Chain A
């Protein structure tokens, strides 16, 4: 486990929001015999204001870990505290928000009714709930669909309702399972911007995802799970860095000047440096094109 590596990059001044030590979950069969060991003694320490990405292939233990943090599954062994309490304490849920991988929604309720229901469960007063529902409906771009049953929503719209319910109580800790799944690139960018703005406001986010590019964009730290164990962990720049290699970016040098620089670098380092053109991402091209088309002016 790369706990030491993680600790190097953590801001120790921030309070610990999630702390797991030797967290283990074994699913048992009807007779109580161990069937699957989904999580095997993982250590995690997530501090306030972080966006922590939990990555890994299917069946690696991401969702199980998330459910243990929510108190929906009970650890077989190890120690776990969330916001300084046991995750089985109901009271701490008023400071948490959760968006599951699938959009588990009551399909015959409208977006308004559904969010009002969750606002009541979150303990908001009628007035506060109404205001918060209005804000979230607008923030998620659901104003025109607010009175339609969520069963009629597209997958992307249902995901936005799912995200809205996770934020209904303005939680301090937000757990998201595949938050950008099913969203088009523009909605995806909007959600990522929203998550970044939440982190700026001091919220802590724990995100499980397969969308590595999205995680790279927004995560401060990530852990990669495989077969229930943490295989790699650390800050994103740290994990992405290639040891003993640096990249120089130059603004439109002339052909002659570029050749001179390359010759100089070759002389200095003893090897011919690699050269490529920095390109835009497909995401930025897509967003630019669609936005330009939608707003011709």
Chain B
């Protein structure tokens, strides 16, 4: 019986979009998601102020550190977001009403993944912008770009004050507006600072910006998407602490996956199992490539995207198999 007049495919697409939209909206209202995004951006853009980075390799250290922050905060965010959207929905009971409607479990599960991926994409964008800014403002010849640094330090005021005012005057939720304004502010700073050099002179737009950082951040973003598939698959059964703990172990095991596979070369079965199970995080780590003056090319990104797609689909299939038979 179809009482809507829409055909089956349209209904399924609308259901998927409604579930994704609601889950993403819910995640963008979570204080923990807000704190993770803001902490990552704040630590990244404050890197140039760190004394440790004034030893002649400031830009290199700033880029390496910002990419490391993106990976660590991103993994925690993936774990938290997956649990907030899936595990908490099961625990709070709202899932009972959703499954009393004609919604398949696969559609629900994939919509939850889409929502987590949206939040991570936002995080990766902010992180990439912050990394570009920190490289641009890292001290060169032991001199700070004080104008740029002041602009960055004003970010909380520019991004969060309007959101707070909106909340006070119109009761609009603070967190989604603050996050949206943060992304806009970071973009604006990149556009403004891209037109000036460290001494405040007009230059050709973008000539002072290290654009290769953006594809590098995107490459790491693919690693985070892989971790998101793991997180969601675990979140169908486990709560946040257990999920984040397992993700952390997988991240570090993934970083040394090559070494572990080499060490077990004499045991082909174990070696093959490790190669299959552990995500090859090294394939997504761009810092070495950037340090050597290289760039993350399109073929490299394409290869990583294919790997993350294959690995992610495998993990999501296992996660769905576990979720499909879950009883509420």
Contacts and interface: CB of A to CB of B under 8 A. Distances in A.
B97 A100 contact: yes
B10 to A, nearest CB: 9
Contacts of B102: 90-94, 121-123
Nearest to B104: A90
Contacts of A175: 100
A129 B98 CA distance: 16
B55 interface: no
Which 4 pairs of residues, A with B, have the shortest CB-CB distance? Answer: A98-B100, A104-B93, A121-B101, A93-B102
26 contacts: A70-B96, A70-B100, A71-B99, A72-B96, A72-B100, A72-B328, A73-B327, A73-B328, A74-B327, A93-B102, A94-B1, A98-B97, A98-B100, A100-B93, A100-B96, A104-B92, A104-B97, A105-B94, A108-B29, A109-B22, A117-B18, A118-B97, A121-B19, A122-B102, A123-B11, A125-B5
Contact of B103 (A90, A96, A97, A170): A90
Interface in A71-100: 71-74, 90-98, 100
Nearest to A98: B100
Given A117-B22, A121-B18, A121-B103, A108 B5 contact: no
Contacts of A102: 93
Contact of B1 (A95, A108, A118, A121): A95
B26 interface: yes
Interface string B37-75: 000000000000000000000000000000000000000
B6 A125 contact: yes
A194 interface: no
A68 to B, nearest CB: 9
A286 interface: no
Contacts of B22: 106, 109, 117
Contacts of A104: 92-94, 96-97
Nearest to A162: B97
Interface string B247-289: 0000000000000000000000000000000000000000000
A105 B94 CA distance: 6
Given A73-B328, A74-B327, 19 more contacts: A70-B96, A73-B327, A90-B103, A93-B100, A93-B103, A94-B1, A94-B3, A95-B1, A96-B100, A98-B97, A104-B97, A117-B18, A120-B14, A123-B2, A123-B11, A125-B5, A128-B3, A169-B101, A170-B3
A215 B328 CA distance: 26
A124 interface: yes
Interface string A243-276: 0000000000000000000000000000000000
Interface of A: 67, 70-74, 90-98, 100, 102, 104-106, 108-109, 117-118, 120-125, 128-129, 162, 165-166, 169-170, 175
Interface string B82-106: 0000000000111011111111100
B15 interface: yes
A92 B26 CA distance: 29
Contacts of B92: 104
B4 interface: yes
Nearest to B173: A108
A124 to B, nearest CB: 5
A70 B101 CA distance: 10
Contacts of A96: 100
Contacts of B101: 93-94, 118, 121-122, 169
Contact of B4 (A72, A93, A128): A128
Nearest to A108: B29
A163 B6 CA distance: 25
Contact of A67 (B6, B15, B98, B328): B328
B97 A165 contact: yes
Interface in B148-188: 173
A97 B4 contact: no
B85 to A, nearest CB: 12
Contacts of B173: 108
Interface in B20-36: 22, 26, 29
B5, B92, B100, B173: most-surrounded residue (chain A CB, <10 A): B100
A24 to B, nearest CB: 14
Contacts of A123: 2-4, 6, 11, 15, 102
A70 B102 CA distance: 11
Nearest to A177: B96
A72 to B, nearest CB: 5
Contacts of A169: 3, 101
A121 B328 contact: no
Contacts of A109: 22
A244 B1 CA distance: 49
A125 B14 CA distance: 9
A166 B14 CA distance: 19
Contacts of A91: 102
Nearest to A165: B97
A120 B5 contact: no
Of B2, B94, B97, the most chain A CB neighbours within 10 A belong to B97
Contact of A128 (B5, B93, B100): B5
A72 B99 contact: yes
A121 B238 CA distance: 26
Nearest to B108: A121
Contacts of A170: 3
A96 B103 CA distance: 12
A67 B96 CA distance: 9
Nearest to A172: B1
Contacts of A97: 100
Nearest to A132: B3
Contacts of B328: 67, 72-73
